[in-house]
Chains A and B, each alone.
Chain A
Amino acid sequence: MTTNTPLRAEPEAPPVARRRIRLSREMTKTLVVTVVILVIVTVAAGIISGSTTVLTQAIVTGVLTGGIYSLIAMGLTLIYGVLHIINFANGAMVALSLYITYEVVSIFGVHPYLALVVTIPVMMGLGALVQAFLLNPVMRAPIHTQLLITIGLALAIENLLLLVFGPNPLSVQLPGNAGVPILGATVELSRIYAFAGSLVLVAALWLLLKRTSIGTAIRAVAANPEGARLVGINIKGIYILTFAIGAAAAGAAGTLIAPFSTIQPTAGAIFNLTAFVVVVLGGMGNVPGALVGGLVVGLTEQLGALIFPGQSPLLAVFVVFLIVLFVKPKGVFGRAS
């Protein structure tokens, strides 16, 4: 985790290499501080709850939900890194994917995870269409223009789902889903699969960005759109591709969390905020950072609920969020620009 790689391409010149060493030291320091804070919070939570079982349960749940949060935040951070747009529709896209998964499972009766074959291409297509027809025309406009479009998109998706499926919650059953004991805590298998899925997704995105020529082009556009255009990269095409990949990540997240989610039109809006926090914590545009950010948010939520019983568990997360936003807006685990 110490080799946190920002999304942007870095030139390999010697002075920059020296800066990189300093950066990684800074990052190690931040990581150490974060771990120390987490340990203190854990101890505090343990003392307040007064039970090791409750504490381990909270930690295990925290890590697993954290993985899910980073899964959902992955597309968001990728889109921000390249397009500098916060996709307010990210949560709505997850909700749409939940419904597609539900439909695929109920029509074809297949294993829920097989729905990935449908959700990923469908969401990719949707993302490409959105970028090509709604966002590309206004990429030069002030930033609020693009944000308003994603807000409109979120409203549109959520209410289309409400119109078609109604407000009643639906659910998807995972065959062979059972509780598994981990360190004295009982965890559903589906949550472990989703956690593994988020690791796979981070690895896949990372490989795509670092090891393929398309990834290099995406990183080039992220680092310097004008420069990328000068060397012959089709910027608008890369924008479309990036939004499509980001939407596909939201689609994959939707299918992976379907077995333990309440499927409602507003199911994604709950994740929207958490995803923002994850992305800011991890450094906006930093894909592996989103993984760390997700884990921190998951743990903060669970331990915060132990320390401040009765309050919404998200509140502790938001307090952390505002502090980070004001004190270290470029993210705790990496840089954005």
Chain B
Amino acid sequence: MSVSAPTRASKQSDAALATPYLALAPRRPFPYEYAVLAVILVAGAALPFVLPAAEMAIAVRVLVFALMGIGWNIMSGFGGMFSFGHAAYFGIGAYTAGFMLVEFGVSPWIGLVVGMIVAVIAAVGISYLAFRYKLEGAYYAMSTFAFAEMLRLFVSGNDALHRTVGFTVPVLPESSFGMFQFDAGSPLYFWIGLIMVGIALLTSIVFLRSRTGRFTLAARDNEMAASALGINVLRYKLTAVALSAAITASAGVLYLQFYMFIDPDLAFGAHVSNNAIITTVVGGAGTIWGPLVGAIIMAPLSDVVASFLRNPPEQLSFLAGHGGLDLLLYAVILIAFVILLPKGIYGTIWNRVKKK
């Protein structure tokens, strides 16, 4: 580590600044994360051969949750810009693809790309305003929350977007890769989702290891120091926001094509934002693998609760036929994690391992 590096670098451009940060945590030529990612993808790809077909719907939901979590994590975990309204980008992705498919018969693959672009434009626009006017803390949290709600209200009252009815994906006579539609229970949904999660994780790793990611972390940990060192904080924050929105929008398209239905509440409801938050907080915000760990735990939970309630034990029989228990558990888990394990499961374990 060279101690004199910061003073010398502060007189130079952005590029020279990379040195002090990399000196603290060297950029390895082949970070072990890539190997872990490859193992996860190979193991995941084998899952449809092991899992009974009935469980595949849960596996796809895990992937949707994971995508949302990974997206949320880039902005809120790595970037420190806590978003309470990620449903906005999820919904923009789903609705853009749904609108193009239902109204013009455009392939959802194109819808996916367009949806991601629209989400990025919206996210960068609203975030630019928020940073430009220095919204902080509670105000920033409220602006993110309000943006998602505004979109929900706008869509609910817009005739071109079918108001509260939403979009139903037209069923094709046979499965078609070009239209992103397969037989119910086809493992292709899972494999495509897995590839999307793989790309999202890869983006996370590359982002975190890149100069952009290092600067984003620096800006998160101490914005004033970072900008004093000459880092263009706004630019790196907006980069994180854009990546985050794009990944979350892709989750929306995967959701639309798998469930073949979207409405304003499913797309823009506050529970969508909450799912992204809870997934990541439980797994470990600000870590690469945290959102995936969180998704594997949280996404199947509602099915576990539902199957538990179908045959409840004697003492709990009064709960049969009542909804809400799964979300109640989510709430309790969220509060417990925030107070007791703020680093999440992965973050806590990783810290233990590192200390030893």
Contact = CB atoms under 8 A, between A and B. Distances in A.
Contacts of B327: 155, 158-159, 162
A249 B335 CA distance: 24
B34 to A, nearest CB: 30
A327 B130 CA distance: 10
Given A155-B327, A155-B331, A322-B150, A148 B142 contact: no
Contacts of B142: 86, 276, 280, 325
A318 to B, nearest CB: 4
A269 interface: yes
Contacts of B138: 80, 84-86, 143, 147, 284
A329 B135 contact: yes
Interface in B303-334: 319, 322-325, 327-328, 330-332, 334
B259 interface: no
Contacts of B19: none
A159 B338 contact: no
A276 B145 contact: yes
Interface in A134-176: 134, 137-138, 141, 143-145, 147-149, 151-156, 158-164, 166-167
B157 A310 contact: yes
Classify the secondary structure of B's interface with A.
Answer: helix
B84 A151 contact: yes
A326 B133 CA distance: 6
A149 B138 CA distance: 14
B146 interface: yes
Interface string B156-181: 11010000000000000000000000
A312 interface: yes
Given A138-B338, A315-B150, A159 B84 contact: no
A310 B327 CA distance: 33
B350 interface: no
B122 to A, nearest CB: 13
B84 A156 contact: no
B129 interface: yes
Given A315-B154, A325-B146, A151 B334 contact: yes
B335 A163 contact: no
A105 interface: no
Contacts of B154: 311-312, 315
A314 interface: yes
A195 interface: no
Contact of A155 (B76, B143, B274, B339): B274
Interface in B127-148: 129-130, 132-135, 137-139, 141-143, 145-147
Nearest to B328: A159
B139 A145 contact: no
B137 A156 contact: no
B230 interface: no
B324 A138 contact: no
A149 B342 CA distance: 11
Given A80-B138, A145-B338, A155-B334, A312 B328 contact: no
B263 interface: no
Contact of A312 (B157, B274, B331, B342): B157
Most buried by B among A84, A134, A155: A155
B62 interface: no
Most buried by B among A80, A85, A148, A315: A148
A20 B121 CA distance: 43
B82 interface: yes
Most buried by A among B84, B142, B274, B325: B142
A321 interface: yes
Contacts of B57: none
A265 interface: yes
B153 interface: yes
A152 B339 CA distance: 11
Contact of B328 (A84, A145, A156, A166): A156
A156 B133 contact: no
A235 interface: no
Most buried by A among B130, B146, B274: B146
A155 B330 contact: yes
Interface string A306-323: 000011101100110110
B82 A144 contact: yes
B277 interface: yes
A9 interface: no
Interface string B27-68: 000000000000000000000000000000000000000000
Given A155-B331, A312-B157, A148 B322 contact: no
Interface string B239-278: 0000000000000000000000000000000100010010
Contacts of A84: 137-138
B284 to A, nearest CB: 14
28 contacts: A84-B138, A141-B342, A144-B82, A144-B141, A145-B342, A147-B82, A147-B141, A149-B338, A151-B334, A152-B332, A152-B338, A156-B328, A166-B323, A284-B139, A312-B153, A315-B150, A315-B153, A318-B146, A318-B149, A319-B150, A325-B135, A325-B142, A325-B143, A325-B146, A326-B129, A326-B143, A329-B134, A329-B135
The 9 A-B pairs with the shortest beta carbon distances in the complex, nearest first, are A162-B324, A155-B331, A156-B331, A159-B324, A152-B335, A152-B334, A144-B82, A163-B324, A159-B328
Given A134-B335, A149-B335, A321-B146, 10 more contacts: A143-B141, A144-B82, A149-B338, A149-B339, A156-B332, A159-B328, A162-B324, A162-B327, A277-B146, A280-B139
